[in-house]
Amino acid sequence: MKKKLRKIGKWLNDRGGFSEMLKPLKEHLVPPGTGWNYVWGSATLFCLIVQVLTGIALAFLYQPSVNAAYQSMQYIENQAFMGSFIRGLHNWGASGMVVLLGAHMIRVYLTAAYKYPREMSWISGIFLLGITLTMAMTGQLLRWDSNAIWTGILVAEQTGRIPFVGDAIAHFFIGGATLGGDTLNRYFAMHVFLFPALLFTIVGYHLFLVLRNGISEPPKAGRLINPKKYRSWYQKMLKKKGVPFFPDVIWRDVVFSLGVLIVLILLGWLVGAPELTKPADPTILETEPTPDWYFKWIYAIFATMNRFLEPYFLFFGPLLGIILLFSVPFLSRGGERSPLRRPWAIVGVAITIVTVGSLTYAGLWANWVPDFKAAPLGEYVSVPQEEPMAERGKHLFYEMKCIYCHKIGKKGGSNGPALTKVENRLDEQQLILQISNGSADMPAYGGSLSSSEIKALVAFLLSEKKVNEEKRETRNKE
Ligand code: HEC
């Protein structure tokens, strides 16, 4: 029996060439001391594999048509065998990929592994970053619930505002002038065919470069990179001190990836994917269009930025970012690699992390978008007694959706300034002007409200003063 098995094994290997295939892996030498800091890239790749497997499973049941997409998502979430778990895993796998990719980039940047001769590794990596984020974005729209398509509409509108090229890009992504069936088809094709194909091609190239140029040796302060001598130095160093990638190095990658898998499984199982909101219907506004968490920081920038600057920021911001990222390996090709000798690299990374982190935090907790769920003000705002005008204004403030964008007390949206203390800033005349004429970010209500209604709103906005005065009076009386 054993003999027979061995014979079969031999045949398979002879005709199939499996040990030959694994040979480079065994013989590939790696500089000593790479350690745990070198696991981020392989873990990102591992997440990509998780995404492919869970993505295929989802595609078995998902129907990319306007009429069926939402139902098929419901089916996956509520009925399909392990559907909710696999959706959760796919969702957290995407998050994991973004996070690990970020960690990998930071490691490569801090240890200056992008320097000679690994510039192309960095450049292909930037493409991988862009494609990964595009995958995350297109995937969110495939949920085809109200949240997803409103996010899609917002993205398209913002893209359309980019000077010069915005309209064309927005048209390409949404497949026409409006969001509809063509959009869904397009996003589906992009998410499951176009970008995965690009991703795999470039990942393949990225890995080929790792084999060709070798893994960068851990940096040492004072050991400079000299492009003229580096390659021969590296080969000599490998011959003298190199360790085989398999099994000396790869075990760390395997252990770390298994850890990542456990975390993803726990998150996918216990937390799951974002709840599906209502079916997609562009006429229903009752949703809070918000992107998934790793895009919130971009969202926060737009929420806080001046409307007139936004289009330029939309155009020049990414352009500058892309140029900067691509130029990294050309700004300093040789010299020091140790982060200890490159303090500005550490400062740059720290600033980036703090900025993106705090913007994400702001984006996660602030209510930037119109708050479509705001309740009538009745319960929590008091109006001076016996003031029907202010009482009417209070109702109008809700009915006319002012509360979607303005806070009164603690309730309402944050699109516009809070109006709790507006009486200290504006007088009656200015309030009337603002409400009837609107401004850049606020609709003009002059056409839709009668002058008595506007007066009522103003009376309401000014009533806080009176409430306070009343309180003071009663306190004085006591
Ligand atoms: C789509 C969101 C939106 C809606 C709806 C909206 N506003 Fe505004 N409002 C804004 C923004 C944004 C500003 C800040 C001015 C600007 O940048 O255009 C503003 C400014 C104001 C101001 C001036 C505040 C200040 O401190 O200068 C007042 C008063 C005001 N709005 C009242 C109202 C009233 C009353 C309604 C309902 C009839 C309303 N708004 C509906 C977005 C909105």
Give distance in angstroms: CA of 454 to centre of ligand 1.
13
Q: Is 160 inside a domain boundary?
A: yes
My answer on whether 334 and 438 are in the same domain is no
Contact 218, 31 (CB under 8 A): yes
Side-chain-side CA neighbours of 409 within 13 Å: the count stands at 14
Q: Is 30 helix (H, G, I), strand (E, B) or coil?
A: strand
My answer on whether 245 and 384 are in the same domain is no
My answer on whether 319 and 461 are in the same domain is no
CATH of the domain at 229: 1.20.810.10
Residue 156 structure tokens? 């398209």
Enumerate the β-bridge partners of residue 145.
279
Which of ligand 1's atoms lies nearest the C-alpha of 396?
A: 38
Contact 43, 256 (CB under 8 A): yes
Quote the DSSP letter at residue 307: T
What is the per-residue pLDDT for 466? 61
Q: Is 10 inside a domain boundary?
A: no
My answer on whether 148 and 244 are in the same domain is yes
Give distance in angstroms: CA of 440 to centre of ligand 1.
10
Contact 97, 44 (CB under 8 A): yes
- Could you give the number of structural domains in the chain? 2
Q: Is 96 helix (H, G, I), strand (E, B) or coil?
A: helix
Give distance in angstroms: CA of 387 to centre of ligand 1.
23
Quote the DSSP letter at residue 111: T
My answer on whether 394 and 354 are in the same domain is no
Q: Name the pTM for this structure.
A: 0.73
Last residue in a domain, options 337, 365, 393: 365
- CA-CA distance, 443 to 364, in Å (whole number)? 26
Q: Is 255 inside a domain boundary?
A: yes
Our mutation pick for probing the ligand 1 site, out of 442, 445, 452, 460, counting the most ligand atoms within 8 A of Cβ, is: 442
What is the per-residue pLDDT for 264? 97
Q: Is 115 inside a domain boundary?
A: yes
Q: Is 446 helix (H, G, I), strand (E, B) or coil?
A: coil
Please report which helix (H) or strand (E) contains residue 146, including its range.
Answer: helix 146-160
Quote the DSSP letter at residue 217: P
Residue 119 structure tokens? 């510039």
Give distance in angstroms: CA of 467 to centre of ligand 1.
22
My answer on whether 173 and 249 are in the same domain is yes
What is the maximum span of the chain, computed from C-alpha positions, in angstroms?
A: 105
Q: Which residues of the chain have pLDDT under 50?
A: 285, 368-372, 378-380
My answer on whether 361 and 381 are in the same domain is no
Q: Whose CA is nearest to atom 29 of ligand 1?
A: 431
In sign, the C-alpha dihedral spanning 275, 278, 280, 284 is negative
What is the per-residue pLDDT for 380? 43
Q: Is 211 inside a domain boundary?
A: yes
Give distance in angstroms: CA of 402 to centre of ligand 1.
7
Give distance in angstroms: CA of 406 to centre of ligand 1.
7
Angle between helices 83-110 and 119-142 (to 10 degrees): 150
CATH of the domain at 417: 1.10.760.10
Contact 264, 50 (CB under 8 A): yes
CB-based pocket (< 6 A), ligand 1: 370, 400-402, 404-406, 415-417, 419, 422, 425-426, 431, 434-435, 439-443, 445, 457
Last residue in a domain, options 315, 338, 365: 365
Our mutation pick for probing the ligand 1 site, out of 402, 407, 445, counting the most ligand atoms within 8 A of Cβ, is: 402
My answer on whether 332 and 418 are in the same domain is no
What is the per-residue pLDDT for 276? 84
Which of ligand 1's atoms lies nearest the C-alpha of 445?
A: 38
Q: Whose CA is nearest to atom 5 of ligand 1?
A: 402
My answer on whether 169 and 306 are in the same domain is yes
My answer on whether 348 and 416 are in the same domain is no
Q: Is 178 inside a domain boundary?
A: yes
My answer on whether 310 and 406 are in the same domain is no
Residue 433 structure tokens? 């002007």
Q: Whose CA is nearest to atom 8 of ligand 1?
A: 442
Last residue in a domain, options 320, 344, 365: 365
What is the per-residue pLDDT for 443? 77
Our mutation pick for probing the ligand 1 site, out of 157, 399, 434, 462, counting the most ligand atoms within 8 A of Cβ, is: 434
Full residue range of the structural domain in which residue 383 is found: 377-477
Q: Is 3 inside a domain boundary?
A: no
What is the per-residue pLDDT for 379? 43
Our mutation pick for probing the ligand 1 site, out of 309, 368, 405, 428, counting the most ligand atoms within 8 A of Cβ, is: 405
Contact 269, 85 (CB under 8 A): yes
Which of ligand 1's atoms lies nearest the C-alpha of 439?
A: 18
Q: Is 2 inside a domain boundary?
A: no
My answer on whether 417 and 391 are in the same domain is yes
- CA-CA distance, 195 to 457, in Å (whole number)? 51
